[in-house]
Amino acid sequence: MINLTGHNSKGKSFLAKCLLMSLLSVISFFQAEAQIAYQNISNKNISLGSYGRAGIDWSFENGGSIGRRLNLNNMGSIGGRMEEQDYLEVAPAFHFKPKPGDSTQIFAQMRLAMYSTSLTSFGNSSSTSIGGLAFALPEMFVEARNIKGKELSMWVGSRLYRGADVHIADHFYFNDHSGQGFGIEYKKTRFAAIFVASTDTSATVPPYFYLNIKSGTPSAGLRQRSVGIVEHDFVMNESNTITVLGEFHRMADADSKTKIDTVERVLNFPSDHGLVIGFKHQYELKSTLPGSFNHFSLRYGTGIANGGDGGVSRTWLTFGAPDTTSLSFRGAYSLALVNHMVYNFSKKYTLNGYVIMTSSKGAADTNNKSISYFGQEVFNKKVDFTVGARNEHYITDYFHLLTELHYSQRQDGTNPVASMVKFSIAPVYVPTGERDTWARPHLRFVASLARYNDYAKETLYSPYLQSVGDRRWGYYFGVKAEWWIWN
Q: Kindly state whether residue 15 falls inside one of the protein's structural domains.
A: no
Measured between alpha carbons, how far is 172 from 290 in angstroms, rounded to an integer?
23
For residue 129, what pLDDT is reported? 85
For residue 375, what pLDDT is reported? 74
Over residues 336-364, the pLDDT tens digits come to 999 999 999 999 999 999 999 999 999 99
Measured between alpha carbons, how far is 2 from 11 in angstroms, rounded to an integer?
5
Measured between alpha carbons, how far is 37 from 31 in angstroms, rounded to an integer?
10
Over residues 33-70, the pLDDT tens digits come to 444 444 445 578 999 999 999 999 998 888 788 889 99
Q: Kindly state whether residue 422 falls inside one of the protein's structural domains.
A: yes
For residue 62, what pLDDT is reported? 81
Q: Kindly state whether residue 148 falls inside one of the protein's structural domains.
A: yes
Q: How confident is the model at residue 270 (pLDDT cuts 50, 70, 90)?
A: confident
Q: Kindly state whether residue 14 falls inside one of the protein's structural domains.
A: no
Q: Kindly state whether residue 467 falls inside one of the protein's structural domains.
A: yes
For residue 385, what pLDDT is reported? 98
Q: Kindly state whether residue 284 falls inside one of the protein's structural domains.
A: yes
Over residues 10-34, the pLDDT tens digits come to 454 555 555 555 555 544 544 554 4
> Residue 99 belongs to what domain range?
45-485
Q: List Cα–Cα distances, 440 to 114, 434, 482, in angstroms.
A: 20, 9, 7
Measured between alpha carbons, how far is 285 from 289 in angstroms, rounded to an integer?
10
> Into how many domains does the chain fold?
1
CATH number of the domain at 415, please: 2.40.170.10
The model carries a pTM of 0.86
Mean pLDDT of the chain: 87
* Residue 354 contacts residue 168 (beta carbons within 8 Å): yes
Q: How confident is the model at residue 259 (pLDDT cuts 50, 70, 90)?
A: very low
More confident residue, 45 or 182: 182
For residue 13, what pLDDT is reported? 58
Q: Kindly state whether residue 20 falls inside one of the protein's structural domains.
A: no
Q: Kindly state whether residue 35 falls inside one of the protein's structural domains.
A: no
The mean pLDDT value for 438-453 works out to 98
Contacts of range 220-224, beta carbons closer than 8 Å, 24 or more positions apart: 221/254, 222/197, 223/197, 223/251, 223/252, 223/254, 224/195, 224/196, 224/197, 224/251, 224/252
